[in-house]
Structure 1
Amino acid sequence: MSLRTTLFSQKLALSSAPLLLFLWGLATLIVTAGVFAIIFSYPVLPSHVPLLFTAEQGLTTKVFLPAVPALAVIFLLGNAVVSELLLRKRENAAAIFPAFLSLLVSIILTDSLFRILRIFPLPSSAFEEAIYPLLLPFSTAILLGLGTTFAVSAAARRLKIFDRPHGPYPDVRPIPRLGALPLFVTFAATALLFLPLDAALKGFLLGMGILALIQTIDDVRPLPFWIQGLGHLAAAGAVVWGGIRITFIGNPLWPFIPPQYLAFDAIPYLSELVTVVWIFALINVVDWLDGLDGLAAGVGTIAAGTIVASSLLLDTPASALLGIILAGTLLGFLPLNFYPAQIYLGGGAFLLGYLLAVLSIFSGAKTGTALLVLAVPIIDALYVIYSRVRTGKSPFVGDQTHLHHRLLKAGISHQKIVLEEWALVATLAIAAVLLRGFAKLAAVGLVFLAALLANRLLLRKFGAKSPKPAAPSPGV
């Protein structure tokens, strides 16, 4: 039987392998970027270009320049065939290697192409100059994130460290719940690789390490909530120790009501207190979002992208670099976390909240942008606390009254809820980047009112119903 008959005689196995589809899609996207770079640069290139990285050696006619992405495409197609054949033989683990290799080769070849093109004084914007240095850290974080997530998931399965039935989740699937580890290792390693270790980064990574340790222990052996809370405060304190503080926020009512900025450093220790409260609050809000496979990681990716865009607009390259590293870290984690998850975010949701809180301070975006991007989970958390207290329950004892739980009870599928919430957050993220001042405040207010109304209606209609048998990933 020919190879063509073997491949096309049945449904492609790759279509049911989300991790491999993600890897191939990412590799294809990277190669496509190289193709577009050639298309736009070709008319202004000289007749001869180097095939190496120096203009003095290896000059050849520019007609051969498209050979670089062509080689990448051939390599990708060949490895895709290998992965498909391995999947059909149920060699799932082995099928990942050609995909990883293809992604790596596509990054190397496309980076080589960009290096060749950048030798010449081609027309470019300041935005392009800011974007290019982010590509390598982004790619590194994705690859490292994929590798560490896969390794942690495999190790947890071997050690039988699975999620446990608890609280409102009596029938959770036996899935590893060590998401904090791959997030910490990937983000910290990539940040140390591309950024100087100054006092701010030391405090940032120290707080991250404290949080990762506490939440990993909790994923293995549950800790009392007050110990976790102390860990969250310690992580926020490490950030302040590193010199990261919220010293002011823009007044959203300016120019109607002065002053233009609300300063916190005029009163002793006020900026430190505001910083700790902000970080502590966002740590817990994002954790409450982690109720469906892939939901929190996807929202975090969008929020990280918003931080990158805001940082570029505000000309803060260090925070843009940290934001793109976080986005890459989450994209590396997401293929194994999307429904049906092979690893839960678990305590990593607290870590994600910490990262978003600190990066929002770094970027200068601060509260307005974060409140708008995370408006849905924030209002959901506030409403759940209110409903629990009103009914005499502890706000710290989990139940299934979160927005995504009620949408599940309404009969909407797991994947559809996640994708729709991603789309909503992405829309709010665009608004957060484009809007300023009072317009942003008005948008935050409208979103909060809409979210309150949706929560109220869904709670009335589905709050008392029992959950569906298929349990979502755990969250508070």
Structure 2
Amino acid sequence: MLLSWGMMPYILLISYKKRLFDPVDARKLHQHIVPRLGGVAFAPIQCCILVIALVCIYKLNIGELDLQVASWIILPSMALMVCGLVILFMIGIGDDLIGVSYKWKFVAQIMVGCLLPLSGVWINDLYGLGFIIGIPAWIGMPLTVFVVVLIINAINLIDGLDGLCSGVVSIGLLVLGGLFASYGAWLHAIFAFITIGVIIPFFYFNVFGTSRRRRRIFMGDTGSMTLGFSIAFLVVSFAMNNHFIKPFADGAIVVAFSTLIIPIMDVARVMFVRWRTGRPIFKPDRNHLHHKLLRAGLSRHSALIFILVITLVFCLFNIVTVRYISNNIVVLMDLIFWIAFHWLFNRLEKRQMIVKLQLFINL
């Protein structure tokens, strides 16, 4: 956290001197020039501190942690995860500075997605979800790559409101880190808490910084893609039925993906609406959840707090209910709540538009 806090002013200084700003257009919420290189601080600090933590744990025996597993089992997945962060870091910087075609970004995301199955981390059990238990490697490995790419893009697409992407990811990391620590999977817990520490200073500059004082910054694709891959690695690791990482738990896959239920379901809804209305699926618009909340009359900070609270509620609700209810019923309840939530806000949005129209007519 201290390293990230120290890097942010230097990133701001370089961004203003070289005029590396996020473009202002009709789809963006900001109306002033704002640097977009805040995510440059994430991956280098994550990798450096993780390596230091590994050295301290395995060589110096600091803390005398009971890792419960041999190092050769966990270290390959950690090493390839770091490689994936480096790849996305380079692609993200190129995109934030000069622009990179979405095709090349998609290829890079598939490459880093393949690193998880190569390291032995892949979704091998659905725990009865859809009445499916164990799944073979030829299905689970491609499914894992698809899930990783989906998570990276879902995290990237919700980065449209100050503090939203970093806030949602922080809540997910806090939940996963606590769960990993409770199971004794200390390496995964340490990585989750390292990432939270990196995000906290950025969240402050992003939400509470001001453009006039040159203290406001965006994370850009560099930050959103590396954060997406970081939490994807932890989600797949938690969802995997592998006693080397953690003990078996019936609701592991539901609990793991509940940390990302807001961005994933929001992307699915937006894609469905675009397909139903005949618009290009990958063309940006203003139909994401935070756009709907703003149109319904909420302020930016109120919309941010509302989404973060809903994210935390989903996580806590699923963690508790999977102990007593079937995974399929829990997922069904999540879907019902999500649909009812959007139905309610669609009505509020229409009422808000009617009020504005009446005010305009009166004027």
Q: Give the shorter-chain TM-score range.
A: 0.7 to 0.9
Q: Distance in 2 between matches of 1:221 and 1:143?
A: 29
Q: Distance in 2 between matches of 1:170 and 1:338?
A: 13
Q: Within 5 Å, which residues of 2 pair with 1:17-166?
A: 142-166=1-25
Q: Distance in 2 between matches of 1:225 and 1:367?
A: 30
Q: Deviations over 1:156-176 (max 9, x none)?
A: 122110001346238643111
The count of corresponding residues between Structure 1 and Structure 2 is: 317
Q: Which amino acid aligns with 1:374?
A: L
Q: Within 5 Å, which residues of 2 pair with 1:425-440?
A: 425-436=311-322, 438=325
CA change 1:143–1:278 in 2 (3 A) is same
Q: Match for 2:192 among 297, 319, 323?
A: 323
Aligned pair 1:447/2:334, yes or no?
A: yes
Ranges in structure 2 where 5+ consecutive residues have no aligned partner? 56-70, 211-215, 241-251, 357-363
Does the CA contact (< 8 Å) of 2:123 and 2:239 recur in 1? Answer: no
Q: Deviations over 1:179-208 (max 9, x none)?
A: 331111221111111025932222101111
Does the CA contact (< 8 Å) of 2:238 and 2:253 recur in 1? Answer: no
Q: Within 5 Å, which residues of 2 pair with 1:38-437?
A: 142-166=1-25, 168-169=27-28, 172-195=31-54, 198-252=75-129, 262-264=133-135, 266=136, 268-340=137-209, 342-347=216-221, 348-364=223-239, 367-436=253-322
Q: Distance in 2 between matches of 1:427 and 1:457?
A: 18
Q: Which amino acid aligns with 1:310?
A: L
Does the CA contact (< 8 Å) of 2:40 and 2:219 recur in 1? Answer: no
CA change 1:189–1:441 in 2 (3 A) is farther
CA change 1:432–1:318 in 2 (3 A) is farther
CA change 1:153–1:181 in 2 (3 A) is same
Q: Distance in 2 between matches of 1:210 and 1:222?
A: 16
Q: 1:269 is paired with a residue of what secondary structure?
A: helix
Q: 1:248 is paired with a residue of what secondary structure?
A: coil
Deviation for aligned residue 1:340: 4.9
Q: 2:304 is paired with a residue of what secondary structure?
A: helix
Q: 1:195 is paired with a residue of what secondary structure?
A: helix
Does the CA contact (< 8 Å) of 1:309 and 1:433 recur in 2? Answer: no
Does the CA contact (< 8 Å) of 2:151 and 2:229 recur in 1? Answer: yes
Q: Distance in 2 between matches of 1:308 and 1:202?
A: 19
Q: Deviations over 1:287-323 (max 9, x none)?
A: 1221110011011111001111221233312111111
Does the CA contact (< 8 Å) of 1:293 and 1:340 recur in 2? Answer: no
Q: Which amino acid aligns with 2:196?
A: A
Q: 1:263 is paired with a residue of what secondary structure?
A: coil
Q: Distance in 2 between matches of 1:291 and 1:396?
A: 15
Does the CA contact (< 8 Å) of 1:207 and 1:237 recur in 2? Answer: no
CA change 1:439–1:326 in 2 (3 A) is farther
Ranges in structure 1 where 5+ consecutive residues have no aligned partner? 1-141, 469-476
Q: 2:126 is paired with a residue of what secondary structure?
A: strand
CA change 1:455–1:222 in 2 (3 A) is farther
Q: Distance in 2 between matches of 1:186 and 1:209?
A: 11
Q: Distance in 1 between matches of 2:119 and 2:17?
A: 38
Higher RCO, Cα 8 Å, sep 6+:
2
Q: Distance in 2 between matches of 1:411 and 1:280?
A: 33
Q: Which amino acid aligns with 2:144?
A: T
Does the CA contact (< 8 Å) of 1:339 and 1:414 recur in 2? Answer: no
Identity %: 21
Q: Distance in 1 between matches of 2:318 and 2:117?
A: 26
Does the CA contact (< 8 Å) of 1:372 and 1:443 recur in 2? Answer: no
Does the CA contact (< 8 Å) of 1:252 and 1:441 recur in 2? Answer: yes
Q: Which amino acid aligns with 1:292?
A: L
Q: Distance in 1 between matches of 2:111 and 2:23?
A: 27
Q: Which amino acid aligns with 1:201?
A: M
